[in-house]
Chains A and B, each alone.
Chain A
Amino acid sequence: MSNFEERLLRELRSLVEAPPIDRGQPRLIWPGRRLVLAGGLAAVLAAAAATGVFFLSAGTQAAYGVTRNADGTVTVEIDSLSDAAGLQATLRAIGVNAVVQYLPAGKTCKQPWFTPAGAAAHEMHQTAVGRTSDGATRFTISGNQPAGTTLVISTQTGPGREQALGIAWAEGPVPACQVVDAPAGSGPLGGPPADGSTTSGQG
């Protein structure tokens, strides 16, 4: 075989050797599924603690996917704000210390909820939080999580009571969330609204 064919074979073999660990509930056959971003509002909700934020409509179905990639990174895909416990358990099962907290619209966790991790933890992100062509949200993180840190995935409430999803890294243990009413205009993960740009997911 040619060099190209041999190299491609190696790449594809590694793909076969690292199949998806868990795909959650089947999520590829729902024509009615909707995960809709709310345009520029994402920028309003950006905060220093968050590495990605995006908006989702209500009424979606349960689904998520977690994939351990050939290079050791982990890709998380969230199709709807459901089954947080399942996603959290899946992440922990593959060695990602994570807390997943989905709350009803208009609710948030009482602040301060946890201690944000240092900048080094943010380097865990291999890709920005993004949106797939069929409306799911996806991000990829390193497989080498710093000791003592926790990946926090949590819903938040935007200025207009839109639901958002924030991704952050915590240092030390993450206490149980005390659910409180979210003040209008709260940032991701309950922080104050920021005036900076956000990462991705809008559009």
Chain B
Amino acid sequence: MQELAEIASDPDAFERFYRQHVEAVQRFVARRVDDPFLAADLTADVFVAVIASAGSYRRSRGEPVAWLYGIARNVVAGERRRNAKELRNVACVRGRALVDEEDLAALHERIDSESSARSLYRELSRLPAGERAVLELVALDGLSVGEAGRALGIGGVAARVRLHRARRRLRSRLDLLDLGRSDVPEVTA
């Protein structure tokens, strides 16, 4: 497994990580926002936060993808870590400034393909924050319950309890949801 700490200081290590995950990050963002320019900004913010946080990564906090999704969720939820925010302020990496017409079409396409996920995302906003976080990562992003728990810094048992409660609450609202699987569920809204 790639040593994540290296990506904060080794440009080549960062590039490998970026190429491996940039599509997943963009899809993660597209499942949550429908503005292509905001999506570009958030994609940039996620990777800036990754650079700022990589030095503190520990394997005990989960596999890299779970760690990455945890960061991405914080960024999109406006809860980015302070050091990442500071670094971004200094770096002034603005994703939307890097978008041309061709990119815009691709961003729209990606956003359109995730419209059902965004419907679910909006529906999840009615849930308590802790329960929502677990269900979001499992149902929208395909993490296992364990991975979601590690991404959120909670134990597997706590994650399962929250997921159970979230499903129970949501089931009364969305009978169409099938969230019984704990890994990569198919979700329709």
Same assembly: yes
Q: Which of A8, A16, A138 contacts B43 (CB 8 A)?
A: A8
What 1/0 mask marks residues of chain B from 17 to 32 whose CB sits below 8 Å from any chain A CB? 0110010000000000
Are B103 and A3 touching (Cβ within 8 A)?
yes
Tell me if A119 counts as interface (CB < 8 A to partner B). Answer: no
**Among B10, B82, B90, residue most surrounded by chain A Cβ atoms (within 10 Å):** B90
Name the contact of A67 in the complex, choosing from B44, B47, B90, B95 (C-beta under 8 A).
Answer: B90
Given contacts A4-B99, A8-B47, A69-B90, contact A17 B22 (CB under 8 A): no
- Asked if B76 is at the interface of the complex by the 8 Å CB criterion, the answer is no
What are 7 A-B contacts with C-beta separation under 8 Å? A3-B103, A11-B98, A13-B14, A15-B87, A16-B51, A17-B11, A75-B90
> Which 3 interchain pairs have the tightest Cβ spacing?
A4-B103, A7-B98, A13-B11
Given contacts A2-B106, A3-B102, 15 further A-B contacts (CB under 8 A): A3-B103, A4-B98, A4-B100, A8-B44, A8-B47, A9-B19, A9-B22, A11-B91, A12-B47, A12-B51, A15-B87, A15-B93, A16-B9, A69-B90, A70-B91
B85 at the interface (CB under 8 A from A): yes
**Given A4-B99, A132-B89, A9:B18 Cβ within 8 A:** yes
Convert A60-75 into 0s and 1s, putting 1 for each residue whose CB lies closer than 8 angstroms to a CB of B. 0000000101100001
Bound: A15/B99 CA distance, A: 19
Residues of B within 8 A of A69 (CB): 90-91
Is B8 an interface residue, CB under 8 A from the partner? Answer: yes
Q: Output the nearest chain B residue to A5 by Cβ-Cβ distance.
A: B22
Give the shortest distance, in Å, between A140 (CB) and chain B (any CB): 8
Decide yes or no: A8 and B95 within 8 Å by CB, A16-B7, A133-B85 being known contacts.
yes
List chain B residues, Cβ under 8 A from A134. Answer: 82
Residues on B with beta carbons closer than 8 Å to the beta carbon of A173 = none
- Proximity string of chain B (71-104) to chain A, C-beta cutoff 8 Å, 1 when within and 0 when not: 0000000000011011101110101001110110
A70: chain B residues within 8 A (beta carbon): 91
Check if B40 is an interface residue, CB within 8 A of chain A: yes
CB-defined contacts of A147 to chain B, threshold 8 Å:
none
Is B112 among interface residues, defined by CB-CB distance under 8 A?
Answer: no
Does B68 count as interface, using CB distance less than 8 angstroms?
no
Complex interface: chain B residues within 8 A of A120 (CB): none
Q: Using a CB-CB cutoff of 8 Å, which residues 31-78 of chain A contact chain B?
A: 67, 69-70, 75, 77
- Interface flags for A132-144 (1: CB within 8 Å of B; 0: not) read 1110001010000
Report chain B residues within 8 Å CB of A132.
Answer: 86, 89
B15 touches A13 (CB 8 A): yes
Complex Cα distance, B66 from A194, in Å, reads 55
Contact A15 B91 (CB under 8 A): yes
Q: Is A93 an interface residue (CB 8 A)?
A: no
Give the contacts of A131-171 with B (CB-CB under 8 A): 132-134, 138, 140
| Complex CA distance for A69 and B14, rounded to whole angstroms | 18
Interface presence of B48 (CB below 8 A): yes
The CA of A69 and the CA of B40, in the complex, are separated in Å by: 22
Which of B83, B85, B91, B95 is most buried by chain A, counting CB atoms within 10 A of its CB? B91
What residue in chain B is nearest A23 (Cβ atoms)? B83
The answer to whether A9 and B15 touch across the interface, beta carbons within 8 angstroms, is yes
Instruction: Say yes or no: A12 contacts B19, CB within 8 Å.
Output: no
Within the complex, which residue of A15, A77, A133 is in contact with B51, where a contact is CB–CB below 8 Å? A15
Query: Does A16 contact B103, Cβ atoms closer than 8 Å?
Result: no
The smallest C-beta distance from A35 to any residue of chain B, in angstroms, reads 14
Bound complex: CA A105 to CA B180 (Å): 64
Chain A 9-30: CB-based contact to B (< 8 A → 1; otherwise 0): 1011101110100000000100
Q: Are B98 and A15 in contact (CB under 8 A)?
A: no
